[in-house]
Amino acid sequence: MFNMYKKNVLKMGWLILLMSIFIPGCSNSKNDRSGSAADVYLPSVSSTIPEDAATKVSMNPKITATFSKETNAATITPATFTLLQEKPPVSGTVTYEGTTAVFTPSENLDPNATFTANLSNEVKDLAGKSSVTNKTWSFMTDERSESEPDPGMKPTME
């Protein structure tokens, strides 16, 4: 009877040892993208507005980039989120809320022009990690301003 008790205690000891080794490895930290110490995911841009290669974009757009995870708002600035037409950067303001950065041009963009938005790899997540590459996308504005009438529209008489 005593031998059977020793065997059960020994089995129970092994079971507790194995559980203490394997159960901590079953945590959900792999899927945690909150910026915790166990975070292994780099930030990336999951969507943009306007989309890459978009045409007929409004001349007074808000250019947005949504990140795959929260980023450090202090790293999203006019120096890290830029809009270019040819070489000179377009002046504007940059804001960040939740997981979305917004570039708002100071003035209407030129009509029928190509613009390139760029997010630098200096943008960092809450754990201080940055993307390996810059995120760049381009779009073309509409050929006429919102205040110009559509040439296909005829005035109506009342």
Output the domain CATH number for residue 117: 2.60.40.1220
**Res 7 pLDDT > 60:** yes
| Residues 65-104 pLDDT 10s | 999 999 999 999 999 999 999 878 999 999 999 999 999 9
Domain for residue 85, yes or no? yes
Number of structural domains (the chain) is 1
Q: Which domain holds residue 118?
A: 45-141
**Res 28 pLDDT > 60:** no
Domain for residue 102, yes or no? yes
Domain for residue 3, yes or no? no
DSSP per residue, 23-55: SGGGSSGGG--S--TT--PPP-EEEEESPTTEE
Domain for residue 88, yes or no? yes
Domain for residue 156, yes or no? no
Question: How many C-beta atoms lie closer than 10 Å to residue 116's C-beta?
Answer: 15
Domain for residue 152, yes or no? no
